[in-house]
Structure 1
């Protein structure tokens, strides 16, 4: 049995899946002031009548880190940055305690200038005075030589945690690495406190299965591994929706996914049946990061979006002022508008009528007209955002989780609709788009299903410099000597072996160790008129997808 949990903006969903399909599901209200409370409620509810010890795997998608960053509830971080030629690191300063330490390593990994110990000691002293306990350490070419990052980290004995740049990704992008390391440190304590509480809750319930956390790229990582890279859990909610849609639907063509919740609507695209990916990393609070992610977009339209009337103009969202009036809320919402129009008959329809009649009395517009305008406004927002996203995708190279699609132009004519209000909006959306709209079984808990069936993903990059006789795999902390005659074939073989060893070390099932090579190249390095060595790079991954044993049990 597999247990999936998804903490959404409005509801927390949980499902249990076995070889026959979904055997239990629940939905509880998300308590943002205490996420552990709603997670415990969901766990207790979904495990009713089920022996917890039979659960073999627990996967969790959480909004914790995303909310902490958006709401500026992060811990203060001491950021130590060592630059190099070109980009001025001060242009990418982040946080209240950002320190530039002179010192340079070039693009080959050669140390050009030693770190300035005087500057470093002054910065450390200032952090100590302010009782800074978590740090981010980044040098410009640390993926080629991490010596400066390692040296700075060793100078921070008072640290509870140090987010070290080269361990986060093998990609070369200095500004993205600074932001990623910062956010990783900023949410570390909050995330680890939460993780410990989750483990305690499961233990008290008798569930002793390994716990995994969903990542933005649609894969999972074991909870113990995630403790040092909590930044990977950012935007895992939309990723859960995408994986859930893949699990429930047989998608083989260009398509759009809409996950309409109470607070927002998540949009994702499929090209030839495969979800698109943000190859270089997502943007967080206006900062580009190295966190790989499925390509999604969230907009402030959901079933509980509040209806507003100004003059003769009726709008909805992005504000959510609570539940619909039909559910006991105090402000009319999209759900209430659907009740008034007779599109649905959800809970206390008389309360929906009362709410819109109050708006009619206040603004002199008939309640039916207000309801229709609110629905039209919401549908127009969704339609325009989908079209804008398609245009954006078609304006640049298209990358899916599988491959780069050269010359691909996205032309979707099918929408896969999931989320709590999905069934109530299917006809409205089909009419607005003029496309085929499919609502899968279990659409209301599709994101929890996505969390439950997502497999573990890892990507690594291997760099070899035969002139310097060095090989590095930055995010695995591998730094070894190689012979001068080292080849690209050697590199591919070593990258595969390092990946396999890592997957085994974190307990990934043999059936899920499907390693693919994304990039592999070698070019000669020339000085004067002579070849002095080769620069070799291999990038491989276990791509996002569905657990081998769950691939076909949930399909339509």
Structure 2
């Protein structure tokens, strides 16, 4: 029997499946809470009840995860430094320390400005010990990466942190998108390394010696070593695995797939049995990257999304918090405090305040992990010490420490992952309602009683009201995804918003109503999606498929992928020679820029060298029996009617290496 072990580590739950690899049959499955303070605990808990004999026969372990995606959506990650060369960056993504220096190239790959190494060295020396990763992005480095490579060499001599260059992650034009990608990649390196180390720790305990593979955002898989270098490629790993799993579990080739986890809801489309890839780069948290991935829309709404009631305002915030029902199971001392809060009146925070900084009596903080070299003021240090063993609300902490609750920088510590927030969530709504009860129901009921008073509602009315808000939000993000598929834009204007609201609410206006129907079935992945998705499907008049094993669909998809690596090479004729049969040209590739006397010679060189390198990449990524596929596209312009011939603008060569993952046991 050929056995594969699939894991999916999400923001709330870690799922595991044992599968018979020939018939893709689920043998055993399990779920456990993800333990962010030590991921190995949650991973270990999924294997406790599995057949030990089957575990010893595992030939491959494959892992998908939403941790990278969640970290970006929640704005979490390590401290990152950024060096921009030749062009300012508009700072649309948080960077701890950054500088812009002189340098850069033009579209022909020629140096436009000499690299200012002295400024780069000065910056690197100034950030030593203050950043955990460095991103380097030079203008048009995809045409010539020499400035990025030079700075990376210097950085390795000065800084003892991972260094990533923009050209290493993408060969596509787009300075801004490439910079976003490199910053995200640097920020994610310790997160993915921690995840991989946790899995390997548990594998060693169970004497599982099979190779470990990681699912990429396009649904293919790569080795652990490649994942640590390029963790950005694991964004949308979990959602991509859910698309593969949805196809496997239902046998349906064309469908809309919604995967609702604890932190995010991910929506993708199956077309002819495959996820549609976004060649322009995945969009995460409304930011365009240059990562080749399945075209999946990720929204910060899940079972653990934070519910905020500020005065008479109801907010569903994307920050992931520990549901009160789960927290009260782990820290029983919370229950009597919540009971006391239940009947308490509370005020509201200024509406101009950031949602993360709003203080709620029903929210608590607990220390999550240690972090060195982080500058905290004395009040935050005192708060961190107080919540190191037991959760406290900011109001409780303020009373104990004689500090105003607004003086604490709790949201910043939360962003860095030092503390974790506990609060009211959609999972608590289901517990209080009684439709899904696995943890401490009373904790959810007490918090709802407190929050419902602010809106002058009964507990039952509040639950129904809040559930409608969650369902309407799910329906809204589904429509946004479908609009993007049709229009390729994320902008929804005033009229679009109005039509969306009518279609979702099914409320007629003064003169007209609006109904939108899906012409594909909706496949639900996750647990407990049965509480939310039937109403969503009903709003759009479509069939809802909730297949067996859907609650572990991501883990199922994790063990069914291939290793796929690709490389793009551009050949551009020399100026004025595009009409010749075999013009001289310049070759632009991730491995460098070269000139050739003849296009034919350049083409052979590109295919031979590119095939060798892409096959090497696939082998490094964990593949055996690699096949390289070559696709050549010529961009030409005709001379017009009555004229013979055409003008060659450029030639694109795409080399794709495909191979099955190694499935064997390593003998000591």
TM norm structure 1: 0.79
Structure 2 CA distance, aligned partners of 1:250 and 1:333? 34
- SS of 1:89's equivalent in the other structure is coil
Tell me which of 55, 58, 79 is aligned to 1:55.
58
Q: Which residue of 2 aligns with 1:528?
A: none
Number of equivalences: 520
Pairwise CA distance, 1:470: 5.0
* CA 1:46–1:224: 2 relative to 1, 3 Å: farther
Q: Which residue of 2 aligns with 1:508?
A: 623
Deviations 1:445-501 (A, max 9, x none): 001112222322322111235647654431xx3666655242686377444554334
Q: Which residue of 2 aligns with 1:135?
A: 134
In the alignment, is residue 390 of structure 1 matched against residue 482 of structure 2?
Answer: yes
Asked if 1 retains the 8 angstrom alpha-carbon contact of 2:7 and 2:14, the reply is yes
Pairwise CA distance, 1:316: 6.6
In the alignment, is residue 376 of structure 1 matched against residue 476 of structure 2?
Answer: no
Q: Which residue of 1 aligns with 2:398?
A: none
- SS of 2:527's equivalent in the other structure is coil
Q: Which residue of 2 aligns with 1:41?
A: 45
- Cα RMSD of the aligned pairs, angstroms, is 4.1
Structure 1 CA distance, aligned partners of 2:636 and 2:451? 71
Structure 2 CA distance, aligned partners of 1:60 and 1:39? 11
Asked if 2 retains the 8 angstrom alpha-carbon contact of 1:109 and 1:145, the reply is yes
Asked if 1 retains the 8 angstrom alpha-carbon contact of 2:232 and 2:291, the reply is yes
Structure 2 CA distance, aligned partners of 1:82 and 1:92? 14
Pairwise CA distance, 1:542: 5.7
Pairwise CA distance, 1:202: 1.6
TM norm structure 2: 0.67
Structure 1 unmatched runs, 5+: 399-408, 525-530, 550-556
Structure 2 CA distance, aligned partners of 1:454 and 1:51? 21
Pairwise CA distance, 1:89: 2.1
Q: Which residue of 2 aligns with 1:205?
A: 206
Asked if 2 retains the 8 angstrom alpha-carbon contact of 1:394 and 1:410, the reply is no
- SS of 1:428's equivalent in the other structure is helix
* CA 1:195–1:305: 2 relative to 1, 3 Å: closer
Pairwise mapping of residues 412-427 of structure 1 onto structure 2 (< 5 A)? 412-425=519-532, 427=534
Structure 2 unmatched runs, 5+: 330-334, 336-422, 491-515, 575-583, 638-645, 664-668
Asked if 1 retains the 8 angstrom alpha-carbon contact of 2:124 and 2:159, the reply is no
Tell me which of 593, 598, 612 is aligned to 1:484.
598
Deviations 1:213-267 (A, max 9, x none): 22222222111112211222223222222221122122333x3212233444322
- Decide which structure has the larger Cα Rg and report it: 2
In the alignment, is residue 216 of structure 1 matched against residue 223 of structure 2?
Answer: no
Pairwise CA distance, 1:110: 1.9
Pairwise mapping of residues 2-81 of structure 1 onto structure 2 (< 5 A)? 2-18=4-20, 19-20=22-23, 21-42=25-46, 44-45=47-48, 47-69=50-72, 73-81=76-84
Pairwise CA distance, 1:28: 0.4
* CA 1:391–1:67: 2 relative to 1, 3 Å: closer
Pairwise CA distance, 1:394: 1.1
* Comparing 308-317 and 289-298, the one that deviates more: 308-317
Q: Which residue of 2 aligns with 1:183?
A: 184
In the alignment, is residue 260 of structure 1 matched against residue 260 of structure 2?
Answer: yes
* Comparing 59-68 and 213-222, the one that deviates more: 59-68
Asked if 2 retains the 8 angstrom alpha-carbon contact of 1:422 and 1:443, the reply is no
Pairwise CA distance, 1:284: 4.6
Pairwise CA distance, 1:98: 2.3
* CA 1:25–1:489: 2 relative to 1, 3 Å: same
Q: Which residue of 1 aligns with 2:90?
A: 91
* CA 1:237–1:322: 2 relative to 1, 3 Å: same
Q: Which residue of 2 aligns with 1:445?
A: 552
* Comparing 244-253 and 295-304, the one that deviates more: 295-304
Asked if 2 retains the 8 angstrom alpha-carbon contact of 1:74 and 1:187, the reply is yes
Pairwise CA distance, 1:516: 6.3
Structure 1 CA distance, aligned partners of 2:153 and 2:83? 12
Structure 2 CA distance, aligned partners of 1:154 and 1:532? 41
Q: Which residue of 2 aligns with 1:166?
A: 167
Asked if 2 retains the 8 angstrom alpha-carbon contact of 1:14 and 1:46, the reply is no
Q: Which residue of 2 aligns with 1:151?
A: 150
Structure 1 CA distance, aligned partners of 2:137 and 2:314? 49
Pairwise CA distance, 1:6: 0.9
* CA 1:388–1:47: 2 relative to 1, 3 Å: same
- SS of 2:241's equivalent in the other structure is helix
